[in-house]
Amino acid sequence: QVQLVESGGGLVQAGGSLRLSCAASERTFSSYRMAWFRQAPGKERELVATISRGGSTYYADSVKGRFTISRDNAKNTVYLQMNSLKPEDTAVYYCAAGVVPGSSRYDYWGQGTQVTVSS
């Protein structure tokens, strides 16, 4: 069982920055696909960014150029650096881990951290 614990959310003004962190409980973290999702009130959960075992990244068009996903395998942690934040970025942000090689599914989820961007 993989446990994921997010931190770093909060309230920030539009144009500001936040860095989210997600710490994993397992030493096999380096073998996981990791991702950040978000869910705004009344909306479906959406994929924000992913990072592969090898460090390849993907970003949703809505955050491309503003957000950066990274990982530190020595610390079993994945990060989401969020710059130039907009009110529409307000959501609960979740990290997720995919542990099955060759699968696109994410198997473990954190509890979420709230990000609120004021205008």
Catalogue the E-assigned strands of 2-119: 4-7, 10-13, 18-24, 33-39, 46-51, 57-59, 67-72, 77-82, 91-98, 108-109, 113-118
pLDDT value of residue 81: 98
| Residue 63 DSSP one-character state | T
CB within 8 A of 119, min separation 6: which ones?
14, 87
pLDDT value of residue 54: 92
Is 70 in a helix, a strand, or coil?
strand
Q: What is the pLDDT of residues 60-102, one digit of tens each?
A: 999 999 999 999 999 999 999 999 999 999 999 999 999 988 8
**Residue indicated by tokens 């705004």:** 40
CB 40 within 8 A of CB 115: no
Please list, residue by residue across 80-89, b when 16 or more beta carbons sit within 10 angstroms of its beta carbon and e when fewer do. bebeebeeeb
Is 98 in a helix, a strand, or coil?
strand
Confidence band (pLDDT; 50, 70, 90) for 104?
confident
Q: What is the pLDDT of residues 15-31, one digit of tens each?
A: 999 999 999 998 789 88
